[in-house]
Amino acid sequence: MAFTQKHILGMYHLEKSDIITLLDTAQGFKEVSNRVIKKVPTLKGRTQINMFFENSTRTRTSFEIAGKRLSADTINFSSSTSSTTKGETLMDTAKNIMAMKPDVIVVRHQVSGIPKLLAENLDASIINAGDGAHEHPSQALLDMFTIREHFGTLDGLNVLIVGDVAHSRVARSDLIGMTRLGANVAFCAPRTMMPRQFHVPGITISSDFEKMLPWADVVIMLRIQLERMHGTPLFPGVEEYSRQWGLNKRRLNLMRKDAIILHPGPVNRGVELAPDVADGERSVILEQVENGVAVRMSMLYHILHTQEEG
Ligand code: CP
């Protein structure tokens, strides 16, 4: 079915058919990264601006590489070196950037809802690269892509998402996207890190990590997001957290033999993941990063194609 979205603000706004289209196109783009000349002319003449108001390694680099591999002109805007440090407002900044006629703006911001605000006020297509604790759709899509590569489908798979669920935009986007593709999703977290309300029916909630591990085909470990706890940690200490909630070799043995481990990064080694588990054969963390380029190529391709059609 045709993809008709002008923006990608979150998994909430994507139908099952949109998700499948994005994943199928990403599958086709994946081989571009394995060529000697890693470039196709698909988005030649289109302009992509990456506006990051919050730090990023994987997402910003991956969106830049994705745009460049499609021959778009990609420009990076970093808030720390911009005139926002002189007091310019977000909307003034965005309107000035818009005056330079970009076709797509990829935005990360610490405040939930900023990508939607920009989509309502600017002519360019907007891609949400992570807003506060709200959504991170490109991460969810690359997670789904990686799982689909391993199991062929998400339909009927059991996906266990573990850790700081309350602050995790990845957990939200994964939950929405994966349930749309038929997966059974469970959140497992200390009670202090579990959000109180969900708008997605059918989710399993647990605070018993070791009981849930044998259930899972896929285990997604989350980072503790200290930067969103505003100086009040929701756990007694890092060592205690690791003891109760860390995925180590002993707990790995509770998992199914073919189960895989994902993590969105950055990993806190020795906290949510023991180093030998993070680097072990069940971990697909670097596959996620590799697949992120193909998935983001697909996102850029489809929303700019929608613009042309519109
Ligand atoms: N997964 C993720 O969003 O990583 P970065 O913060 O490095 O972009």
pLDDT(199) > 70: no
Rounded to 5 degrees, what angle do the CA atoms 281, 137, 43 make? 100
Give dist(CA 219, CA 261) in Å, integer: 5
- 150 and 204 together in one domain: yes
Strand order from edge to edge, sheet including 204-206? 204-206, 184-188, 158-162, 218-221, 260-262
Give per-residue pLDDT as tens, 149-165. 999 999 999 999 999 99
Atom of ligand 1 nearest to the CA of 136: 3
pLDDT(6) > 90: yes
What confidence score (pLDDT) does residue 136 get? Answer: 98
Q: What is the mean pLDDT of the chain?
A: 94
Residue 94 lies inside a defined structural domain of this protein: yes
Mutate to test the pocket of ligand 1, among 53, 54, 57, 65 (most ligand atoms within 8 A of CB): 57
Give per-residue pLDDT as tens, 273-306. 999 999 999 999 999 999 999 999 999 999 999 8
Residue 60 lies inside a defined structural domain of this protein: yes
- 130 and 141 together in one domain: no
- 275 and 293 together in one domain: no
- 132 and 259 together in one domain: no
User: How many separate domains does the chain show?
Assistant: 2
Residue 301 lies inside a defined structural domain of this protein: yes
Record the tokens describing residue 149, joined without a space. 């590569």
CATH code, domain carrying 254: 3.40.50.1370
What confidence score (pLDDT) does residue 109 get? Answer: 97
pTM for this predicted structure = 0.96
Atom of ligand 1 nearest to the CA of 55: 6
pLDDT(34) > 80: yes
What confidence score (pLDDT) does residue 12 get? Answer: 95
Give per-residue pLDDT as tens, 46-101. 999 999 999 999 999 999 999 999 999 999 998 888 999 999 999 999 999 999 99
- 70 and 116 together in one domain: yes
Atom of ligand 1 nearest to the CA of 54: 6
- 45 and 125 together in one domain: yes
- 81 and 35 together in one domain: yes
- 178 and 259 together in one domain: yes
Residue with more model confidence, 232 or 195? 195
Cβ neighbours of residue 117 under 8 Å, at least 6 residues apart? 91
- 294 and 214 together in one domain: no
* pLDDT average, residue stretch 205-230: 90
Residue 4 lies inside a defined structural domain of this protein: no
- 26 and 126 together in one domain: yes
Q: How far is the CA of 54 from the centre of ligand 1 (A)?
A: 10
Rg for the chain, CA atoms, rounded: 19
Residue 155 lies inside a defined structural domain of this protein: yes
* pLDDT average, residue stretch 232-256: 89
- 88 and 156 together in one domain: no
pLDDT(144) > 90: yes
Residue 81 lies inside a defined structural domain of this protein: yes
What confidence score (pLDDT) does residue 210 get? Answer: 98
Report the pocket of ligand 1 as residue ranges, CB < 6 Å: 56-59, 130, 139, 264-266
Mutate to test the pocket of ligand 1, among 52, 53, 58, 146 (most ligand atoms within 8 A of CB): 58
Rounded to 5 degrees, what angle do the CA atoms 118, 291, 210 make? 95
Mutate to test the pocket of ligand 1, among 52, 59, 223, 295 (most ligand atoms within 8 A of CB): 59
Atom of ligand 1 nearest to the CA of 108: 8
Give per-residue pLDDT as tens, 211-220. 999 999 999 9
Give dist(CA 67, CA 46) in Å, integer: 9
* pLDDT average, residue stretch 224-244: 77
Q: How far is the CA of 129 from the centre of ligand 1 (A)?
A: 9
- 76 and 90 together in one domain: yes
Task: Supply the range of the domain harboring residue 100.
Answer: 11-136+289-309
Residue 179 lies inside a defined structural domain of this protein: yes
Q: How confident is the model at residue 200 (pLDDT cuts 50, 70, 90)?
A: low
Q: How far is the CA of 103 from the centre of ligand 1 (A)?
A: 23
Q: How far is the CA of 301 from the centre of ligand 1 (A)?
A: 21
Residue 17 lies inside a defined structural domain of this protein: yes
Nearest CA to ligand 1 atom 6: 56
